[in-house]
C-alpha cells in the first residue's frame, strides 16, 4: 500500500501523535508524517516529533486575533510545502476555518474524547461524568465547518464507573484514542472511506465491524 503523507496539527502533549508515530514504526500504519505543526511554542508534541526526525514547526497565533482564516492561510502553506495529503488534528485546540477545509476537502480528520454528537466542545470527560451517562468514548471524524460535527469514521465505547474521576475517565478514553486514530488513518490510506452525506461507509473489508465498532 502506498504511504500517504500526513500533517499533524497539535497544541499539547501529543500522546495521539506518539501513538501514530509508534504505529507507523511497527508497520501497522502506511503513512509518513511529513510535518508536525503546533500553535504552541512549548508543546511537548514538537519534542516528540524532533526525537523522530520529523519536521516540527511552531506557527504562532500571535497577531491573528479575530483573523483566524489568515492564520489558516499560513497553516495551508506549511502543509502544502510538505506535500501533505491528509491533515490530522491531534489535540489541536483551535477552530479550523473554510480556508483550510477548502484546501484539503474531505481530507481533515479530528479525534474527540466523547461519543459525538454527545458532548462536543471542551472539558467533555467532565461533562460526561456530571451528566451521569453510563458510557462515553471517543470519535474520529472528518472535519466540516462546525464544532465536532463532521461525518464519523470510527468510535470506541468505554464504560463510566461509579468511582471515576475526570482523570481516570480521560485515561480510559485516551487508551482507545491511541488505537482508533491510526485505524481511521489506515482506512483512509487504503482508499476505503467513502463519504455519503453524513455517513462514512467503509469499503472493501471482510469483517468491517472488527475495524470500526470498538467496544472493549
* Of 160, 89, 90, nearest in space to 125 by CA: 160
Task: By CB under 6 A, name the one of 48, 107, 112, 183 that touches ligand GAR.
Answer: 112
Using DSSP's 3-state secondary structure scheme, residue 203 falls into: coil
Q: Which of 52, 112, 123, 131 is catalytic?
A: 112
Q: What angle do CA 155, 189, 196 make, to 5 degrees?
A: 60
The reply to whether 48 sits near ligand GAR by the rule CB under 6 A is no
DSSP annotation of 206 reads: S
Q: Which is nearer to ligand GAR, 48 or 107 (CB)?
A: 48
C-alpha cell at 65: 486575533
Kindly give, in sequence order, each residue whose CB lies less than 8 Å from that of residue 11, ignoring residues fewer than 6 positions away. Answer: 38, 39, 40, 43, 45, 91, 92, 93, 94
Catalytic annotation present for 112: yes
Query: For the residues of 88-139, what is the DSSP string, one character each?
Result: EESS--SPPPHHHHHHSTT-EEEEESS-TTSS-SSSHHHHHHHHT-SEEEEE
Residue carrying the nine cell digits 476505503: 192
- x-marked contacts with ligand GAR along 11-40 as a string, rule CB under 6 A: -xxxxx------------------------
Q: Which is nearer to ligand GAR, 107 or 141 (CB)?
A: 141
- Residue 24 Cβ vs ligand GAR, minimum distance, rounded to whole Å: 15
Bridge partners, residue 155, by sequence: 139, 213
The reply to whether 174 sits near ligand GAR by the rule CB under 6 A is yes
Task: By CB under 6 A, name the one of 33, 34, 38, 91 that touches ligand GAR.
Answer: 91
The reply to whether 156 sits near ligand GAR by the rule CB under 6 A is no
- Residue 148 Cβ vs ligand GAR, minimum distance, rounded to whole Å: 6
- Residue 45 Cβ vs ligand GAR, minimum distance, rounded to whole Å: 6
Task: By CB under 6 A, name the one of 38, 177, 182, 185 that touches ligand GAR.
Answer: 177
- Residue 56 Cβ vs ligand GAR, minimum distance, rounded to whole Å: 14
The reply to whether 111 sits near ligand GAR by the rule CB under 6 A is yes
Query: Cα separation of 78 and 62, whole Å?
Result: 17
Catalytic annotation, residues: 112
Binding residues vs ligand GAR (CB under 6 A): 12-16, 90-91, 111-113, 174, 177
Amino acid at each position: 500500500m502506498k504511504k500517504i503523507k500526513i500533517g499533524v496539527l497539535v497544541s499539547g502533549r501529543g500522546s495521539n501523535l506518539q501513538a501514530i508515530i509508534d504505529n507507523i514504526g511497527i508497520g501497522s500504519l502506511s503513512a509518513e508524517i511529513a510535518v508536525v505543526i503546533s500553535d504552541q511554542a512549548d508543546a511537548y508534541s514538537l519534542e516528540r516529533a524532533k526525537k523522530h526526525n520529523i519536521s516540527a514547526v511552531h506557527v504562532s497565533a500571535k497577531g491573528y486575533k479575530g483573523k483566524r482564516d489568515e492564520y489558516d492561510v499560513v497553516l495551508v502553506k506549511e502543509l502544502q510545502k510538505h506535500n501533505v495529503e491528509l491533515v490530522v488534528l491531534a489535540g489541536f485546540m483551535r477552530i479550523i476555518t473554510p480556508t483550510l477545509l477548502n484546501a484539503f476537502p474531505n481530507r481533515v480528520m479530528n479525534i474527540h474524547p466523547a461519543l459525538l454528537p454527545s458532548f462536543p466542545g471542551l472539558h467533555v470527560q467532565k461533562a460526561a461524568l456530571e451528566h451521569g451517562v453510563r458510557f462515553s468514548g471517543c470519535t474520529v471524524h472528518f472535519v466540516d465547518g462546525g464544532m465536532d460535527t463532521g461525518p464519523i469514521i470510527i468510535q470506541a465505547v468505554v464504560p463510566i464507573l461509579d468511582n471515576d474521576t475526570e482523570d481516570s475517565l480521560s485515561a480510559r478514553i485516551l487508551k482507545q484514542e491511541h488505537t482508533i486514530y491510526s485505524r481511521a488513518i489506515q482506512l483512509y490510506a487504503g482508499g476505503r472511506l467513502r463519504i455519503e452525506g453524513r455517513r462514512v461507509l467503509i469499503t472493501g473489508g471482510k469483517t468491517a465491524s472488527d475495524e470500526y465498532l470498538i467496544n472493549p
